Structure formats: C-alpha cells, structure tokens
Structure 1
Amino acid sequence: MSTVYATEIVLPGTVDPDGLLVTTRELPAPAAGQVLVTVEASGVSFAEQQMRRGKYYDQPPFPFVPGYDLVGIVAAAGASVDPALIGQRVAALTKIGGWSSHILLDAADVVPVPAGLGAAEAETLVVNGITAWQMLHRTAAVPRGATILVHGANGGVGSTLVQLARAAGIRVLGTASPRNRAAVEALGASWIDYRGDVAAEVRALAPGGVDAVFDHVGGSGIVDSFGLLAPGGTLVSYGTASTRDVAGDSRLPVLKLFARLLWWNALPNRRHAHFFNIWAGKRNAGRFRHRIAEDLGSVFALAVQETVRPQVAARIPLTEAARALALAESGTVIGKVVLVPALEA
C-alpha cells in the first residue's frame, strides 16, 4: 500500500470558526480489523458548534479533529477484514475525526450505503437519521395516528424527524422561523412560528395535547414542552441549544436538565421524559453496532425509495471548514451543511 497523507481540520481550542487549522499527516496502514476510508462527505452538526466553544458534554481535550459522521469509500483493509469491503461506499458514526480526507476505522463500525444514494445525501442521514429514527421509534415509540411536536423542524435532525414521522403515519407540528415556513410545510408538517406563543398554537392545533415532543433547545422552554404533552405522552430532550453561548461550566445546563427530567418521571402524572444519547448502550458493543446498522439501514432504505429526501443545505470543500461551520451556525439553512473534497464542491 502506498503512503497515504490525510488532510485534517484541527480544532485547536475555543476559537471562532476561522480559528480552525488545516493540517496534513501520514496515516499508517490499516491494522487488523481496520479499514482505510477515503472520505467523500462529512457533516457539520450541532455537536461541532458546541465543541468549538468547549461545551460539548464529553468532548476530548483540545486539540482534536472534529467530525461526528462521514461517508466514504473503503480504500484498503487490514488483516481479518473481508476484502470484498474494498471499493464499497460506507457510512460511519465517529463522534470525532470525520473532518479528514482519509480515516482509519474499525471495520465493524462501518455501514454499507445502498446503490443509488449519493455520498452527500447519505451523509445527511447518518447521525441525523439514527438520532431521529431512534428517538421516534425506540425512545418514544410513537404509534401511527399520533400527533407530535418537533422543535427546529428545519434543522438537520428536525427535518429528518418530520419525514420519518410522516412516513410512519404520524401528524407533525413543527416550529421554525417564518423564512423556513414553506420548507417545513413541504416536508409535511404544520408550521408554528418559534418566536410566537408556541404553547397557544400547539393547543389550538392539538387541544388534548401532543403524544410526543422532541426538544433540542433545553433551557427554561423545556417546561413548556413537557406541559404540552397529552396524558401518557413522552418528552424526548436531545440537546441544550438555548445555552450554547452561555458562559460558565458547560456541564451545568445538562445536569440541570437531567435533574428536571428525573423529577418529572418521579411524579404520578402519567407523562414521560427522556434524554436521548446516541451513545447509550455502547458498553455492549455488539448490540450497539447492531442497532446502529439496523436503524441507519432503515433510514437509507426510505431514502432510496424517496420516502425520505436528504436535506443537503450546502456542499463546501473540506479545506473551507471554517466557512461551513459559520454557515451551519447562522441558523439560515434547511438541513445539513456537508464537507466534501474540493473537486466535488
């Protein structure tokens, strides 16, 4: 195998987007059980926005290469890996490391991408699709005919969640800004202006309450989200976006949120509250990998059928990751910003 040099985007500390560094390093040959992946697309998610502020709950110490997920082609395989993997397009959930031109991964962690699904399109469905699918079908187990509220219905997870819910015969109310109203309605949701009286709008559309609320905002608004649940309903919290720019200990908002959810679950109110963590259960590696592959495979299948349409907000060269991160943080996009090789941008 010839020498491979990876171009990587390094997050050196708590910097503005233009403080990201573009570096190059030599990669070793894949070890036993590993594959070398030539990255075709990597996403810009809310996790990276928090990481650059040092506010992602369990991020590694600086410096490191961010990149929560990726799609690419297997270029080489180590011993004990099926050589048939070489040349296949695969997806992987990485948490860090995805903002690179090449990466070494455990072969057990890659999921095949079906034919007919482009790299950038598939990339938008990796962490977003797994998160949305598991929250909807595993955590909340929302049945057909139910009504749910999705906050941030124009975002990466939100837009995917809306489509998965509609595909499952679930009515969706979705919050977003007025500029994103048409896009949210095109996905099949009833739009609600997040800047208005959301609670009143939801009660007008669902007088008995909603069966589930999916809330990435956190903060004080989580109380309203829980209050909008119908008896037996489920609140799924999966972030604390409202505290992204708040100074202080990054763990405190999360711990406060956990405490509130635990308190609600202890009350005899017949409503449920959960915090979704995509990495929960990772200690049981075999089961965790099976669920990731099964759930992502289900999302990919819906995309191939065009039941779910990937929302690519923009394709930006890897070496311009600073611009991509700034765009993702602007709150003006529908779907997900994707980093791609320069020739594909």
Structure 2
Amino acid sequence: MTTEATSPTTAVEVVLPGRVEPDELVITRRSLPPLGSGQALVRVDATGVSFAEQQMRRGKYYDQPPFPFVPGYDLVGTVVDVGAGVDRTLLGRRVAALTKIGGWSSHIVLEAADLVDVPEGLDAAEAETFVANGITAWQMLHRIARVGVGQTILVHGASGGVGSTLVQLARIAGIRVIGTASARNATAVDALGAIPVDYRGDVPQQVRAMAPEGVDAVFDHVGGPGIVDSFRLLAPGGTLVAYGSASTKDHAGNSRLPVLKLFTRLLWWNLLPNSRSAHFYNIWAGKRRLSRFRRRVAEDLGSVFVLAAQGRLHAQVAARFPLSDAAQALELAESRTVTGKVVILPDLEL
C-alpha cells in the first residue's frame, strides 16, 4: 500500500440498519481497511439518492445485501491514495464510479479499474447526476433500443433522474420524445424538449393521439399492470425497455417476485409471433464479463460527460443535502415532487 501523510484512516458513513423510515438512518464512523493491490481510496465529493436506495430501504431491491449496510449507488470523488500496482498519476484526479452500495460515505475504497475520469469544469454534484442515470439512459437508448433520428419514443417518468437524462439524450440524437410526468412537472418536461403527458390521465389515449401508428420505443420503470399498455403502444418493429417495477415498491411480500413476473412477461412477448421486442435492462447484467463491462461503462459514461462538458446535456439537480442530512435527502426524493436527482454532499465538520 502507498501511504500518504494526508490519507485518512476513518470514514463517516450513513448506515441503513434495516427496513426503517428515513429518519432511522444511522451515522457512524469506522476505520478504513488497508488498500489492497489495484485499489484506490476515494474522497466522496458527491453521491445521491436514486430509486435503488428507496427500494433498499424497504428491502425491495432485487439483489441488495443483507442489512445493515451503507447505501449509495454511485458517486463522484477525488482519489486521495492508491494501492500497489495503481498508477500514482491517479492521485488528485476527480473520478466517477458505480458502487451499488457504499456511496453514502466520506471515503470509500474502490477498485481503480472501476473509476472513470470526470472532465474538468464539471461541478461534482452536477456530474453525479449523470453517473448511474447517464449510463442507464445511454445504454437503453443506444445499445438496446437503438432508436434512430426522426423516430418517436415514450419515456415514463420523464422528470425523474433517469427520465430527464434520457429525454435530453434522445433530443440530442434527433429523436421525438413523449414523456409522462405529474401535472406539476409538465413545464419541466416541456423545457427538456419532450411533449408532456399527465400520467394520471389516460396515457395510451394521449400517446395514440400523438403517434397513431405507435411509438418506436417505450422506456418503462413503472412495471406492474401498466407494462401491458407500454407494449401495446409500440409500432411494428418497436422496442420496449423495462428497467424497474416502481409501481410495486410498497407491496408486501417477496421482493424478487414483481421483477420475476415482469421478466417472465417480457420473455413471453418475445416468443409471440410479432415484430416487437421487449427487454429488461439491468445496469449490472454484463458484469460477468468484467473487462467488457468496465470498458462499456467507461465509454458510455465518457460520452455522457462529453455532452455535459459541451453544455449540450444539462444536469437536473433537484436539491443538495449534506451527508449528515441524508434522511431529509431520502424523504425529499421519495416525495415525488422534484425534477431530477437529489444529491448528497460531504459535511466539512464531520
């Protein structure tokens, strides 16, 4: 391990102790482990609240670890120490990483190979909104659905973290976007470049009025019974990309069952004799081929960061909270009243 005089030996963390309300999160301090070969110690400059943490709090995320654990799906930070075998020019560089858990911390040990450079000039909080959200949106749009210029897509939850990024990426690519949102967020969705549709109304009827032949792709994080409408709204040759089951997050019972039901339904549709296709997107699905997974994450997030650095892609920061107020950050994210992503920043006094 490379030892730096300024390298911290402890980290402040926000722990999710079990199926609890946001105000029952626990703030602790623990000793950092020694760095192993290929590892880096990262000071967390910004993390955030995604839908994953909201599910984890309820014990509903498909493959979450057993309680207790530190949530935090992704982060932007600065490398403050490196282990053996890691290029020391990494020290002091701002990086981004997918973590799944562990991001709600002042410092975290990560594999150096999982770190992606963040361009200079990007604010840490703004860059943070593009990590998991940007990778998800880019890969669904360009690697799975492969939507082309002039085509039309439907984005459910267009004012959310993934949705607002997906809308912008689609508009940059010359794609027409219809986006569902609450009436209060219609103006924000319109500002992003999408045609807003009130999700509380008759969505299929509203979408059919704008796309009589159907849409070329639907991006659906809601799941539940509404997934049938999403599939039926596809034009011939269209693609449905499901990437969650938000409608069942408060349902009692087995946390995996809604996802398994959704996956089975998508598989069944693909077996039917029609030209439409259905996919379930999981950002971690390719990790069994680790080198390829890392390469694609770096390429796709890098493409998103370039667009952000050019000023073509705009961060949607819903609010900023200090790490010590992670409970309030989680409550706001769950209120469904915000556009974009709630970001958590370090507390200097901790």
Alignment TM-score, normalising by the size of structure 1: 0.99
Is 2:192 the partner of 1:224? Answer: no
RMSD (Å), alpha carbons: 0.9
Structure-1 separation of matches of 2:211 and 2:45: 43
The one-letter amino acid of 2:231's match is: F
**Matched residue SS, 2:178:** strand
Aligned residue in 1 for 2:156: 151
In the TM superposition, what is the alpha-carbon distance from 1:201 to its structure 2 partner? Answer: 0.5
In the TM superposition, what is the alpha-carbon distance from 1:29 to its structure 2 partner? Answer: 3.2
In the TM superposition, what is the alpha-carbon distance from 1:343 to its structure 2 partner? Answer: 4.6
Which aligned pairs between 1:316-335 and structure 2 lie closer than 5 A?
Answer: 316-335=321-340
Q: Could you list the runs of 4 or more consecutive aligned residues of structure 1 that deviate by over 3 angstroms after TM superposition?
A: none
Which aligned pairs between 1:176-191 and structure 2 lie closer than 5 A?
Answer: 176-191=181-196
Unaligned runs of 5+ in 1: none
Aligned residue in 1 for 2:168: 163
In the TM superposition, what is the alpha-carbon distance from 1:226 to its structure 2 partner? Answer: 0.3
Could you give the per-residue CA deviations for residues 237-291 of structure 1, whole angstroms, max 9, x where no partner exists?
A: 0000000101111111111101100110000111000000001110111000000
Corresponding residue to 2:65 among 53, 56, 60: 60
Aligned residue in 1 for 2:44: 39
Structure-2 separation of matches of 1:43 and 1:266: 38
Structure-2 separation of matches of 1:28 and 1:273: 43
Aligned residue in 1 for 2:254: 249
Is 2:28 the partner of 1:13? Answer: no
Which aligned pairs between 1:250-265 and structure 2 lie closer than 5 A?
Answer: 250-265=255-270
Structure-1 separation of matches of 2:63 and 2:33: 27
Structure-1 separation of matches of 2:211 and 2:303: 30
Structure-2 separation of matches of 1:222 and 1:283: 28
**Matched residue SS, 2:72:** coil
Corresponding residue to 1:90 among 77, 88, 95: 95
Structure-2 separation of matches of 1:279 and 1:151: 21
Corresponding residue to 1:195 among 195, 200, 203: 200
Could you give the per-residue CA deviations for residues 282-338 of structure 1, whole angstroms, max 9, x where no partner exists?
A: 011100000000000000000011111011111100111110000000000110001
Which aligned pairs between 1:115-134 and structure 2 lie closer than 5 A?
Answer: 115-134=120-139
Aligned residue in 2 for 1:136: 141
Corresponding residue to 2:347 among 327, 342, 345: 342
Aligned residue in 1 for 2:292: 287
Alignment TM-score, normalising by the size of structure 2: 0.97
Could you give the per-residue CA deviations for residues 158-209 of structure 1, whole angstroms, max 9, x where no partner exists?
A: 0000000000000000000111011000000000000001001100000110
Structure-1 separation of matches of 2:102 and 2:219: 28
Aligned residue in 2 for 1:268: 273
Structure-1 separation of matches of 2:286 and 2:210: 37
Is 2:309 the partner of 1:309? Answer: no
In the TM superposition, what is the alpha-carbon distance from 1:150 to its structure 2 partner? Answer: 0.2
Is 2:85 the partner of 1:80? Answer: yes
In the TM superposition, what is the alpha-carbon distance from 1:28 to its structure 2 partner? Answer: 2.7
